[in-house]
């Protein structure tokens, strides 16, 4: 028996810089993680299978193409897995990819094996390599370019999702321009949360406008987060519909998440420490 945490992935920036001939999009993204997430447990005494539990288990089936099972098969695993689901499904914070990465780490550790090759990992999904890192990185290419980013300040995030699942392929299809400017070649230093927020304000999530066109409630979520006291920046993560707010103060972040949850109890709203 073993357990592995699968933290939420947050795209602080997400620049779409091109599209390959095979249809895959090229990205340039500053990625961090949050100390909220799912949990994967393995029981080696039972054959390969998957049970999904937790408050966000509804609507997620333990089918053969589930990323957890695909990751287990890639590792040659023959154990039963339990996915304790806390993150919203199809929400732009890497839930499925984080679960797959946690499965890879867990099975590799238990079997004393090396992790699969990068090309095998990215075949599971573009976000799986970055989720396998589980720390602040600059992600480029189709998700296979991973460069660690050091010395990010301690910060807090407020995450909110309105309960609307957004299709990533649909968002990319709505994207008007596929070749956009990347982030600066050399990232500046981020001595404080304020300097990080100032840098992020000059960057983008290119998928936010098409996602809002498909799910206008995303704009409402972002506006509500931005209105909270202490919020330095609000933006959508990934392809949506989860939005995040960047905070310097833990109490302000927790108060903000509670205020959003009170006003919209049907939304998922949490405060989390940024993992960098």
Instruction: Say whether pLDDT at 263 is over 80.
Output: yes
CATH class for the region spanning 151-275 = alpha beta
Q: Which of these ranges, 51-65, 137-151, 240-254, has the smallest mean pLDDT?
A: 51-65
Stretch 128-137: mean pLDDT = 95
**49, burial (CB in 10 Å: exposed 0-12, middle 13-18, buried 19+):** middle
Give residues with Cβ within 8 angstroms of 183, minimum separation 6: 13, 15, 28, 30, 138, 203
By DSSP bridging, strand 49-53 and strand 80-84 are parallel
Q: What is the pLDDT of residue 78?
A: 83
Domain with CATH 3.30.230.10 in the chain: 2-147
pLDDT at 34: 98
How much is the pTM?
0.95
Residues 75-120 have pLDDT tens digits of: 998 889 999 999 998 899 998 999 999 999 999 999 899 999 888 8
**Residue 127 reports pLDDT greater than 80:** yes
Does 59 have pLDDT greater than 80?
Answer: no
- pLDDT tens, 142-154? 999 999 998 899 9
- Given a cut of 80, is residue 236 above it in pLDDT? yes
Active site residues: 9, 127
The predicted structure's pLDDT at residue 1: 78
What is the per-residue pLDDT for 68? 96
For tokens 């890879």, the residue is: 104
What does the pLDDT read at residue 74? 94
CA distance 60 to 127: 19
Query: Would you say residue 137 has pLDDT above 80?
Result: yes
Residues 254/271, Cβ–Cβ less than 8 Å: yes
Per-residue pLDDT, 150: 85
Is residue 138 pLDDT above 90, yes or no? Answer: yes
CA distances 58 to 52, 97, 238, 267, Å, are 9, 18, 22, 15
Residues of the chain with CATH 3.30.70.890: 151-275
CATH pick for 2-147 out of 3.40.50.12280, 3.40.80.10, 3.30.230.10, 3.40.50.150: 3.30.230.10
Asked if 139 contacts 130 with a C-beta cutoff of 8 angstroms, the reply is yes
Residue with the larger pLDDT of the pair 47 and 12? 12
């Amino acid at each position: 028996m073993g357990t592995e945490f699968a933290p939420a992935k947050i795209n602080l920036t997400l620049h779409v810089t091109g599209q390959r001939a095979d249809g895959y999009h090229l990205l340039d993204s500053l990625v961090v993680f949050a100390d909220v997430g799912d949990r994967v447990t393995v029981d080696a005494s039972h054959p390969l299978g998957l049970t999904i539990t937790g408050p966000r288990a509804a609507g997620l089936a333990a089918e053969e193409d589930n990323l957890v099972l695909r990751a287990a098969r890639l590792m040659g695993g023959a154990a039963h897995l339990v996915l304790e689901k806390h993150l919203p499904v199809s929400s732009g914070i890497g839930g499925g990819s984080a679960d797959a990465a946690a499965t890879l780490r867990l099975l590799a550790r238990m079997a004393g094996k090396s992790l699969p090759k990068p090309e095998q990992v990215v075949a599971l999904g573009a976000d799986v390599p970055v989720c396998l890192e589980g720390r602040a990185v600059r992600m480029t290419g189709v998700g296979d370019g991973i460069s660690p980013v050091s010395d990010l300040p301690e910060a807090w995030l407020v995450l909110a999702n309105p309960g609307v699942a957004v299709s990533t392929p649909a968002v990319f299809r709505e994207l008007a321009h596929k070749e956009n400017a990347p982030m600066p070649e050399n990232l500046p230093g981020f001595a404080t949360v304020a300097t990080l927020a100032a840098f992020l304000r000059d960057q983008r999530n290119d998928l936010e406008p098409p996602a809002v066109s498909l799910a206008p409630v995303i704009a409402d979520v972002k506006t509500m987060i931005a209105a909270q006291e202490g919020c330095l920046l609000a933006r959508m993560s990934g392809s949506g519909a989860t939005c995040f707010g960047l905070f310097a103060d833990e109490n302000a972040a927790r108060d903000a998440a509670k205020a959003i949850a009170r006003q919209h109890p049907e939304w998922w709203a949490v405060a989390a420490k940024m993992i960098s």
